[in-house]
């Protein structure tokens, strides 16, 4: 299936279940359906063990599903071979994950432009200007020639963010993107993510425990025990804390 309409979801999770352990001991996702539309910034929240990371991993094709389907840009990735999946991921998806996946032998700039290299092209002049802007906004200018092991955890995280945003992929998956950052840098990262969605139509899916981070999102999806139990539009950090509290009380 080819995506024909820009209002079509860029990612669609359809009745996905994911069980771990041969006999189906842990049900990490239980009949989850979710559409991610272009230009939408979605936060996924929920208690520890509720399935947030699993949901993001199956959406990115990093983990298989037990049943159901995941479509990215109109392609059913649950049926895709490894090579095609890698190519789709490389072209369509940017990752900001806890394990930053930076290449230890490459310096900061080479890590940031890696998605272009892997795609067999160089950044255009416009893309170069954007990468320069990211490097400055993320405070990486003085570290540009350093290698990952010479950086702090927060600096490594910022490199991963610059890399994920640099090629303007259609979809960005971010797992606690502000977890290692001081609050000012955290706010800058969230502002960058929100702008990527609102100004450039990129779709952001962010897992977070932080109500302040989630308050930058257009939409907040709450998971509990592998199911979507609530969904809210843009909300203040205070409101989000309230939703989380009432979910915990109901559990």
Give the interface with ligand ATP as residue ranges (CB under 6 A). 20-21, 26, 28, 46, 48-54
Which residues, including other chains, have CB under 8 Å from residue 153's CB and lie 6 or more apart? 180
Rounded to a whole number of angstroms, the minimum distance from the CB of residue 221 to ligand ATP is 12
Phi, psi of 55 (to 5 degrees): -60, -45
Rounded to a whole number of angstroms, the minimum distance from the CB of residue 99 to ligand ATP is 13
What residues are paired with 94 via a beta bridge? 172
Q: Which residue, chain included where needed, has tokens 């609050």?
A: 183
> In the complex with ligand ATP, which residue's Cβ is closer, 20 or 200?
20
Token duo for residue 145 = 């020639």
> In the complex with ligand ATP, which residue's Cβ is closer, 84 or 153?
153
> In the complex with ligand ATP, which residue's Cβ is closer, 52 or 170?
52
Rounded to a whole number of angstroms, the minimum distance from the CB of residue 25 to ligand ATP is 8
Rounded to a whole number of angstroms, the minimum distance from the CB of residue 217 to ligand ATP is 17
- List strands edge to edge, sheet with 11-20: 26-36, 11-20, 67-72, 75-76
> In the complex with ligand ATP, which residue's Cβ is closer, 137 or 208?
208
Cα radius of gyration rounded to whole Å, the chain: 18
Token duo for residue 249 = 């009380």
């Amino acid at each position: 299936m080819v995506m024909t309409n820009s209002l079509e979801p860029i990612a669609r999770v359809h009745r996905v279940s994911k069980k771990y352990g041969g006999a189906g001991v842990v049900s990490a996702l239980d009949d989850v359906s979710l559409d991610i539309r272009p230009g939408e910034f979605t936060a996924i929240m929920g208690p520890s063990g509720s399935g947030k990371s699993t949901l993001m991993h199956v959406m990115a094709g990093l983990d298989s599903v037990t049943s159901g389907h995941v479509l990215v840009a109109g392609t059913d990735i649950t049926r895709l071979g490894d090579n095609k999946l890698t190519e789709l991921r490389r072209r369509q998806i940017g990752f900001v994950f806890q394990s930053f996946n930076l290449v230890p032998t490459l310096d900061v700039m080479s890590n940031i432009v890696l998605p272009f290299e892997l795609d067999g092209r160089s950044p255009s002049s416009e893309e170069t200007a954007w990468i320069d802007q990211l490097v400055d906004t993320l405070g990486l200018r003085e570290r540009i020639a350093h290698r990952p092991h010479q950086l702090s955890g927060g600096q490594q995280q910022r490199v991963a963010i610059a890399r994920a945003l640099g090629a303007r992929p259609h979809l960005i998956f971010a797992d606690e993107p502000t977890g290692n950052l001081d609050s000012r840098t955290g706010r800058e990262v969230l502002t960058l993510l929100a702008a990527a969605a609102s100004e450039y139509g990129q779709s952001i899916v962010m897992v977070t425990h932080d109500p302040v981070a989630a308050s930058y999102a257009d939409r907040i999806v709450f998971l509990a025990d592998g199911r979507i139990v609530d969904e809210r539009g843009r909300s203040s950090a205070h409101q989000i804390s309230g939703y989380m509290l009432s979910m915990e009380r109901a559990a």
